[in-house]
Amino acid sequence: MFAHIKRLLAATLCGGTLFGFAAFGGIHSASAEGNSALKALDDLVIMTEDYPPFNFRDSEGLKGVSTEIMREILRRTGRNVDEHTIELLPWARGYQLTLDKPGHALFSTTRTASREALFKWVGPFVPTVVGLIAKKERKLTLSQPDDLHKLRIGVVKDDIGHLLLKEIGMPEARVEPVLLNEQNYKKLFAGRIDAIAYETNVSNWRFRMMGINPDEYEVIYKLKSAELYLALHKDTPDAVVTTLQKGLDSIKEDGTYQSILQSYGLAQK
């Protein structure tokens, strides 16, 4: 359905029609507006961070569940996909660029009420659980948000864990932001912080990659169950958002989505 959207839209526009191609968001516009939307899709800067198993780089290049989903969406819109299509950046930089610069988008971004109006959204890609992760041997128990105030918690600056702690009123003096989560893991191992606020699947993956047994750690407090999305700058044309969403919907309808999840051991029941 989406493999030839660009070619068909370009042909339609060249023919001088006053109506955009229906699959491209169903826009009704002059050809100049249609051309603008098409260019916006082609020029969209798509960014991600190192966040395995959702998105990460290894010796073979960029991989991950969300990375594979994003690439397949783009293929179905007719956009060329190569090793340069998606940029890997530190989270804080990619997040700020998506906030500030039109034509930028970032995955895997947790969609929350506080972020809702900041971006436009395509998704959901996959479910996510963000929690406080600590050593089991510490036997830390928390029953309410106020119990967190006695802990020293490591976060990635502007990551969802950082945001959620702010939302529940965690004192800033008890939160230690870093730019890369590897710094938090080292501090956690050394006992310099009590817990990290991070995605639980990502942390388990990281522990295994670092030669650490994930069973030695536990989630002592669940901050949020949510879903990961592609976040786009708020001025992104609606036609671009709709086309990308239709690409994702078609992946879910024909079984491709489930196959991608299965290949990373994350298949949904």
Query: Mind listing the pLDDT tens digit for each residue in 122-138?
Result: 999 999 999 999 999 99
Instruction: Output the pLDDT for position 268.
Output: 63
**Second-level CATH architecture of 5-127+228-263:** 3-Layer(aba) Sandwich (3.40)
For residue 264, what pLDDT is reported? Answer: 87
C-alpha to C-alpha distance for 74 and 80, rounded to whole angstroms: 7
Confidence grade of residue 12 (pLDDT, cut at 50, 70, 90) = very low
26 pLDDT more than 90 = no
What's the CA gap between 232 and 251, in Å, rounded?
Answer: 20
How many residues make up the chain in this entry? Answer: 269
Q: Which CATH superfamily is domain 128-226 in?
A: Periplasmic binding protein-like II (3.40.190.10)
String of DSSP letters for 116-157: GGGEEEEEEEEEEEEEEEEEGGG-----SGGGGGGS-EEEET
DSSP string, 64-114: SHHHHHHHHHHHHHT----TTSEEE--HHHHHHHHHHSTTEEEEEEE--TT
Q: 0.85 exceeded by the pTM? A: no
Instruction: Please give the pLDDT value at position 34.
Output: 63
Domain ranges of the chain: 5-127+228-263, 128-226
Each residue's pLDDT tens digit, 29-72: 445 666 777 789 999 999 999 999 999 999 999 999 999 999 99
Mean pLDDT across the stretch 68-77? 96
Grouping H, G, I as helix, E, B as strand and the rest as coil, residue 197 is strand
The angle, 0 to 180 degrees and rounded to 10, between the axes of the packed helices 238-253 and 256-263 is 80
User: Is there a shared CATH topology between the 5-127+228-263 domain and the 128-226 domain?
Assistant: yes
The whole-chain average pLDDT of the chain stands at 88
For residue 37, what pLDDT is reported? 75
